[in-house]
C-alpha cells in the first residue's frame, strides 16, 4: 500500500520511494528512505498535505507525493520505557569542550592569515542566533525554515582577522534548491579555512545528515550542538567525548539563544582553522554494513576519480559520493571521459544489485545507518519535550480541522485592528501632536526672527509639512512589523503555509509562497528576497510577481490620509477592504498567469514544522529598532530630498521667479502633461499627479507631497469621495517603489522588472476606472 492510505496515528515501514530526479533526492535527503519508520501525525485541515514523523522529526508531504511511497504497516508498539535515560551523562556541561579531541599544535597557517568561516546548518537550527552571538551583530532571527536568504558576513568577536559567513539553511549538499547550491559552491569555491557546522540536537538525526556531507568536504570543521538547553531541560543528554571520537572533529555543546558555550566554540573554531585540523574521519561506510556493497563501491569510485578530483579541486570523498548519487553538476565538473564514465556506471550498477537499493537511496541509507549508530551510542533522547507537547496542544487548535481557517482570519484581523485602530493609531496621534507643537514653535520663532519668507516657507511648508507628515506613521509601521515578526518568530507562519497549501495550489502556488506574501504586507523588498527559499523557478517567479499586490506598509500613510479626509470613522473598514482587494487582484493575476505564462504544477511541499517558541524579547526589539532606523533614514534622506525638490519646483515658475499661486509653477507645468491620463479617473489635478509620481520613489512621499502642494488648502476642494476611492485603489495597485523594482530586477532581470512597472500601472488604472464607473452608475460624482 502507499503512504497516502496510511491513517493518522499509525506507523509503517517504507518499502520504496518513487519519483525521480532532484525531487526524489530531496525526499531521500530528508530521511524518507526505504527501511525507515514513518508515522502519520495528521492531515491538514483541508485534507492535504499530511504531517509525518520520521527519524524523530516532523515534516509535511502532499498526498500526491505520498502516493509514490510504498509502505508496509507495522503494528503499534507499546510505549518503550527506557531506563537508559537514567545513565549519568559523562559530559554534561554546556560549552565544555570534549576530551577526545585535544588541541594540536602542528602545521599552523602563517601568522596573520585571515581566517574565514562558513556557518553551515539546517534551516531553523539557530544559525542566525549563533551568528549574532559570535559577531555581535543584529540579523533577523525567525522561527520559519528559510528566513535567512542573503549571506551575511561579520568578524568573530574577540578574534581579530576573522570573517564568518552566515549561509542559508540547507538539508543536504545536493543541488535541490538554489540555497543548497549557493552553500555548496561557497564551500567548494571560496575555500573557507574552517566550517562551523551547527546541529540542532533536538532534531539530531536529520541535522547530522548534513554534517556527514560537510565532513566529506575535507575542511577543518567544528560541530556545534545547539539547543542543548532544550535537550537537557527535558532529560536528554549527549556524550560529547564519544561523539567527537565517532565524528573525528571537535564537538561543542552550546545554547546560542542563551549564549552558553559560544566562546568555547569560537576558540575551537579559530584553533582548528589556525592549525589546519581537518576532520579525522570521512569514511563512514563500513565493510560490515549490509554486505559492504556501498563501501566497496564508494572506495572503487574514489580510486577511479582521484586524479580528476585533484585536478579540479573537489574533495575526493565528497566527489565520490556525489558521483554515486548521480549528481550531474559534479560529474560534469570532473571531466571524466566516456570510458571512465562507463566503468563508474558498472561499479554503481553492481552496488545497486548487491545492496538491493538504487544508488541515491543506498547512499542516503549508508549515511542514516551511521547516524543511527552515533545516536545509539552518544545520545540520550529526551522525553517528549515540554516545547513539543505544548506545540501539539497549540496545534490542535491552530491547525485543527475546523478551527484553522477561522483562527487565521481572526488573528490577521486582530493584528490589523490593533495596528490601525488601537496601538498604532494611539501612538501616531501622540506623535502627530508632538510634531504639530514643534512645528508651531519653530514657526513663531521664525516669524519673531523675521527670517526670509522663502526660507520660512521651505522650513515650515516644505520640511515640516512633508517629512513631518510621513514621520508620524512610524508607530503604525513599527506596530505592524512587531506583529508580523511575532507571528513569524513563534512558528505560526510555518503552520499557515501548511494548511494554506491546498488553497494556494489552486492558484498554482505552494504553501511556501505564503511567507513572502505575508512579508509583503510589511515591505516588498524583503518579500521578494524571501522567495529565494522556494525550490522551483516557476514558483519563485510567480510569487515575486504577486508580492506587489500585497499592500505594503508604506501605503498605510496614503490610506490614512484619504480616510481622514473622505471616510472619517470608517478607517478599519476601508483599510481591510483595500488589503482584501489587493489579495483578490493577486489571486486573479495568479489564475490568469497560471493558465498562460506559468503553466505547470507547483513544486512539492516538503517542509518541517518547528516547535512553537516564544520569540526572545531581544530579537524582537532588535527587529523593531532596525525597522525604525530604516524608516527614519528613508524619511530624512529620500523623502526629505523629494520634499525639498517638490517645494522648489512648486514655488518657482520656469523663469525661476517666486510664484504666488503654485498652479503657474514649474511643477504644475510638468505634471500637467499627465493630467489627461488621470482625468478619466477623476484625478485630473496636477498636484495629485505629482504626488503619485513621487510615490515611485517611496510610497510615503505621496502624502508628504500632497501636504506640501495643498498646503493649508484641503484636498477635498479638488476631489470628491468617489475620486478619493479611485485614488486609493490606484495607490494600492500601481507600480511598486524603486527599491522594490530594483529587488525584482536583481531576482528576475530587467525585462520582468520593467514589465512589473508597466502592468501594475495598467492594472491600477483599469481598476481605478472601474471603481469610478461603478460609482458614477450609482449616482456618485
Which positions lie near ligand GDP, rule CB under 6 A?
A: 121, 123-129, 141-143, 147-148, 169, 226-227, 229-230, 255-257, 489, 613, 616
Q: Tell me the closest approach of the beta carbon of residue 127 to Mg ion, in angstroms.
A: 5
Q: Are 605 and 119 in contact (CB under 8 A)?
A: no
Q: Which does 205 bind (CB under 5 to 8 A by kind): ligand GDP, Mg ion, none?
A: none
Residue 701 within binding range of Mg ion, rule CB under 5 A:
no
Cell of 156: 568573530
DSSP states of 233-253: HTT-EE-HHHHHHHHTS-EEE
Q: Which does 244 bind (CB under 5 to 8 A by kind): Mg ion, ligand GDP, none?
A: none
Q: Which does 135 bind (CB under 5 to 8 A by kind): Mg ion, ligand GDP, none?
A: none
DSSP three-state, residue 57: strand
# binding residues, Mg ion (CB under 5 A): 4
Q: Which does 524 bind (CB under 5 to 8 A by kind): Mg ion, ligand GDP, none?
A: none
Q: Tell me the closest approach of the beta carbon of residue 147 to ligand GDP, in angstroms.
A: 5
Strand (E) or helix (H) holding 121: strand 115-121
255 vs 691, beta carbon nearer Mg ion: 255
Binding segment for Mg ion (CB under 5 A), chosen from 37-45, 59-67, 142-150, 564-572, is 142-150
Q: Tell me the closest approach of the beta carbon of residue 533 to ligand GDP, in angstroms.
A: 10
Q: Which does 227 bind (CB under 5 to 8 A by kind): ligand GDP, Mg ion, none?
A: ligand GDP
Q: Tell me the closest approach of the beta carbon of residue 487 to ligand GDP, in angstroms.
A: 12
What is the footprint of Mg ion within residues 144-173 (CB under 5 A)?
147-148
Q: Tell me the closest approach of the beta carbon of residue 486 to ligand GDP, in angstroms.
A: 11
Q: 311: how many CB neighbours lie within 10 A of its CB?
A: 11
Q: Which does 282 bind (CB under 5 to 8 A by kind): ligand GDP, Mg ion, none?
A: none
123 vs 735, beta carbon nearer Mg ion: 123
Q: Tell me the closest approach of the beta carbon of residue 119 to ligand GDP, in angstroms.
A: 9
Measured CA to CA in angstroms, residue 127 lies from 2, 93, 152, 208 at distances of 36, 21, 11, 15
290 vs 485, beta carbon nearer ligand GDP: 485
Cα dihedral angle (148, 150, 155, 156), rounded to 10 degrees? Answer: 20
149 vs 348, beta carbon nearer ligand GDP: 149
Q: Which does 230 bind (CB under 5 to 8 A by kind): ligand GDP, Mg ion, none?
A: ligand GDP
Nearest to 756 by CA among 778, 739, 775: 739
Q: Is 567 exposed, middle or buried (0-12, 13-18, 19+ CB in 10 A)?
A: middle
Residue 128 within binding range of Mg ion, rule CB under 5 A:
yes
- Rounded Cα distance, 445 and 428, in Å: 26
| 8-state DSSP, 382 | P
Cell of 67: 502516493
Q: Which does 551 bind (CB under 5 to 8 A by kind): Mg ion, ligand GDP, none?
A: none
124 vs 428, beta carbon nearer Mg ion: 124
Cell of 140: 533577523
Q: Which does 60 bind (CB under 5 to 8 A by kind): Mg ion, ligand GDP, none?
A: none
Q: Which does 226 bind (CB under 5 to 8 A by kind): Mg ion, ligand GDP, none?
A: ligand GDP
148 vs 260, beta carbon nearer Mg ion: 148
Q: Which does 330 bind (CB under 5 to 8 A by kind): ligand GDP, Mg ion, none?
A: none
Residue 133 within binding range of Mg ion, rule CB under 5 A:
no
Q: Are 170 and 179 in contact (CB under 8 A)?
A: yes
| 8-state DSSP, 655 | T
Q: Tell me the closest approach of the beta carbon of residue 446 to ligand GDP, in angstroms.
A: 50
Q: Tell me the closest approach of the beta carbon of residue 16 to ligand GDP, in angstroms.
A: 32
DSSP three-state, residue 721: helix
Residue whose C-alpha cell is 544508488: 359
97 vs 139, beta carbon nearer Mg ion: 139
Residues of 691-715 as b/e, b for ≥16 C-beta within 10 angstroms? bbbbbbbbbbbbbbbbbbbbeeeeb
Residue whose C-alpha cell is 549527549: 238
Residue 370, CA atoms < 13 Å, CB-side half-sphere: 24
Q: Is 304 exposed, middle or buried (0-12, 13-18, 19+ CB in 10 A)?
A: middle
365 vs 489, beta carbon nearer ligand GDP: 489
- Rounded Cα distance, 414 and 398, in Å: 15
Q: Tell me the closest approach of the beta carbon of residue 201 to ligand GDP, in angstroms.
A: 9
Q: Tell me the closest approach of the beta carbon of residue 753 to ligand GDP, in angstroms.
A: 29
Binding segment for Mg ion (CB under 5 A), chosen from 126-134, 346-354, 439-447, 755-763, is 126-134
Return the percent helix, strand and coil in the chain, to nearest 5.
60, 10, 30
- Rounded Cα distance, 7 and 3, in Å: 9
Q: Which does 126 bind (CB under 5 to 8 A by kind): ligand GDP, Mg ion, none?
A: ligand GDP
183 vs 536, beta carbon nearer ligand GDP: 183
- Rounded Cα distance, 64 and 334, in Å: 36
576 vs 616, beta carbon nearer ligand GDP: 616
Q: Tell me the closest approach of the beta carbon of residue 731 to Mg ion, in angstroms.
A: 34
Q: Which does 399 bind (CB under 5 to 8 A by kind): Mg ion, ligand GDP, none?
A: none
448 Cβ partners below 8 Å, 6+ apart?
Answer: none
- Rounded Cα distance, 201 and 122, in Å: 11
Q: Tell me the closest approach of the beta carbon of residue 394 to Mg ion, in angstroms.
A: 23
453 Cβ partners below 8 Å, 6+ apart?
Answer: none
222 vs 227, beta carbon nearer ligand GDP: 227
Q: Tell me the closest approach of the beta carbon of residue 205 to Mg ion, in angstroms.
A: 21
568 vs 617, beta carbon nearer ligand GDP: 617
196 vs 319, beta carbon nearer ligand GDP: 196
Nearest to 291 by CA among 346, 369, 371: 369
Strand (E) or helix (H) holding 353: helix 338-355
DSSP three-state, residue 780: coil
Binding site for Mg ion (CB under 5 A): 127-128, 147-148
Amino acid at each position: 500500500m502507499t503512504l497516502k492510505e496510511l491513517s493518522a496515528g499509525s506507523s509503517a515501514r517504507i518499502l520504496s520511494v518513487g519519483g525521480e530526479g532532484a525531487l526524489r533526492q530531496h525526499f531521500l535527503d530528508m530521511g524518507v528512505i526505504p527501511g525507515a519508520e514513518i508515522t502519520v501525525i495528521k492531515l491538514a485541515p483541508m485534507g492535504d498535505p499530511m504531517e509525518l514523523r520520521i527519524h524523530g522529526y516532523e515534516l509535511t508531504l502532499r498526498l500526491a507525493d505520498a502516493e509514490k511511497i510504498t509502505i508496509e504497516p507495522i503494528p503499534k508498539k507499546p510505549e518503550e520505557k527506557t531506563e537508559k535515560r537514567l545513565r549519568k551523562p559523562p559530559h554534561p556541561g554546556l560549552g565544555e569542550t570534549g576530551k577526545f579531541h585535544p588541541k594540536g599544535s602542528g602545521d599552523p597557517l602563517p601568522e596573520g592569515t585571515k581566517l574565514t568561516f562558513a556557518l553551515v546548518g539546517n534551516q531553523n537550527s539557530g544559525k542566525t542566533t549563533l551568528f549574532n552571538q559570535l559577531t555581535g551583530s543584529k540579523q533577523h532571527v525567525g522561527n520559519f525554515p528559510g528566513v535567512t536568504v542573503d549571506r551575511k558576513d561579520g568578524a568573530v568577536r574577540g578574534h581579530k582577522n576573522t570573517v564568518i559567513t552566515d549561509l542559508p539553511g540547507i538539508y543536504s549538499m545536493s543541488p535541490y534548491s538554489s540555497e543548497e547550491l549557493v552553500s555548496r559552491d561557497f564551500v567548494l569555491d571560496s575555500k573557507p579555512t574552517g566550517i562551523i557546522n551547527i546541529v540542532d540536537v533536538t532534531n539530531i538525526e536529520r541535522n547530522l545528515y548534513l554534517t556527514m556531507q560537510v565532513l566529506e568536504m575535507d575542511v577543518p570543521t567544528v560541530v556545534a550542538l545547539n539547543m542543548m538547553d532544550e535537550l537537557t531541560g527535558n532529560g536528554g543528554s549527549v556524550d560529547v567525548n564519544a561523539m567527537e571520537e565517532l565524528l573525528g572533529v571537535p564537538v561543542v555543546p552550546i545554547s546560542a539563544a542563551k549564549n552558553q558555550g559560544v566562546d568555547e566554540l569560537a576558540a575551537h573554531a579559530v584553533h582548528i582553522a589556525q592549525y589546519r585540523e581537518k576532520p579525522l574521519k570521512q569514511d563512514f561506510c563500513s565493510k560490515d554494513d549490509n554486505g559492504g556493497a556501498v563501501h566497496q563501491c564508494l572506495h572503487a569510485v574514489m580510486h577511479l576519480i582521484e586524479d580528476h578530483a585533484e585536478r579540479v579541486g573537489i574533495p575526493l570523498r565528497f566527489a565520490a559520493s556525489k558521483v554515486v548519487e548521480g549528481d550531474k553538476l559534479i560529474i560534469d565538473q570532473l571531466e571524466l571521459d566516456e570510458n571512465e564514465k562507463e566503468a563508474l556506471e558498472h561499479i554503481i550498477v553492481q552496488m545497486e544489485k548487491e545492496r538491493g537499493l538504487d544508488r541515491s537511496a543506498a547512499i542516503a541509507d549508508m549515511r542514516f545507518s551511521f547516524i543511527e549508530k552515533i545516536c545509539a551510542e552518544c545520545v540520550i533522547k529526551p522525553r517528549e519535550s515540554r516545547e513539543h507537547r505544548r506545540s501539539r496542544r497549540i496545534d490542535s487548535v491552530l491547525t485543527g480541522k475546523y478551527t484553522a481557517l477561522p483562527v487565521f482570519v481572526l488573528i490577521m484581523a486582530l493584528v490589523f485592528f490593533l495596528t490601525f485602530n488601537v496601538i498604532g493609531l494611539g501612538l501616531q496621534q501622540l506623535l502627530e501632536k508632538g510634531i504639530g507643537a514643534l512645528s508651531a514653535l519653530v514657526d513663531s520663532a521664525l516669524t519673531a526672527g523675521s527670517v526670509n519668507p522663502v526660507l520660512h516657507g521651505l522650513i515650515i511648508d516644505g520640511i515640516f509639512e512633508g517629512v513631518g507628515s510621513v514621520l508620524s506613521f512610524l508607530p503604525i509601521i513599527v506596530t505592524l512589523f512587531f506583529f508580523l515578526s511575532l507571528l513569524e518568530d513563534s512558528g505560526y507562519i510555518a503552520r499557515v503555509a501548511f494548511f494554506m497549501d491546498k488553497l494556494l495550489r489552486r492558484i498554482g502556488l505552494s504553501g511556501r509562497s505564503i511567507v513572502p506574501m505575508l512579508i509583503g504586507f510589511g515591505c516588498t523588498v524583503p518579500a521578494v528576497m524571501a522567495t529565494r527559499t522556494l525550490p522551483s523557478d516557476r514558483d519563485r517567479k510567480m510569487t515575486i510577481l504577486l508580492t506587489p499586490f500585497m499592500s505594503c506598509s508604506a501605503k498605510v500613510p496614503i490610506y490614512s490620509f484619504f480616510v481622514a479626509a473622505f471616510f472619517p470613522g470608517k478607517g478599519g473598514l476601508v483599510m481591510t477592504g483595500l488589503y482584501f482587494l489587493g489579495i483578490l487582484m493577486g489571486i486573479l493575476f495568479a489564475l490568469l498567469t497560471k493558465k498562460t505564462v506559468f503553466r505547470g504544477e507547483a513544486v512539492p511541499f516538503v517542509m518541517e514544522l518547528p516547535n512553537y517558541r516564544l520569540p526572545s524579547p531581544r530579537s524582537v526589539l532588535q527587529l523593531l529598532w532596525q525597522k525604525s532606523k530604516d524608516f527614519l533614514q528613508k524619511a530624512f534622506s529620500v523623502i526629505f530630498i523629494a520634499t525639498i525638490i517638490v517645494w522648489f519646483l512648486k514655488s518657482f515658475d520656469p523663469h525661476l521667479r517666486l510664484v504666488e499661486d503654485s498652479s503657474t509653477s514649474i511643477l504644475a507645468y510638468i505634471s500637467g502633461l499627465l493630467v489627461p491620463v488621470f482625468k478619466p479617473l477623476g484625478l485630473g489635478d496636477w498636484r495629485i499627479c505629482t504626488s503619485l509620481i513621487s510615490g515611485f520613489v517611496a510610497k510615503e512621499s505621496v502624502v508628504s507631497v500632497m501636504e506640501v502642494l495643498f498646503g493649508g488648502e484641503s484636498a477635498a476642494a479638488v476631489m470628491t469621495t468617489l475620486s478619493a476611492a479611485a485614488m486609493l485603489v490606484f495607490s494600492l495597485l500601481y507600480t511598486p517603489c524603486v527599491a522594490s523594482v530594483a529587488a525584482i530586477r536583481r531576482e528576475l532581470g530587467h525585462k520582468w522588472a520593467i514589465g512589473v512597472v508597466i502592468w501594475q500601472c495598467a492594472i491600477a488604472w483599469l481598476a481605478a476606472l472601474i471603481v469610478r464607473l461603478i460609482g458614477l452608475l450609482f449616482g456618485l460624482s
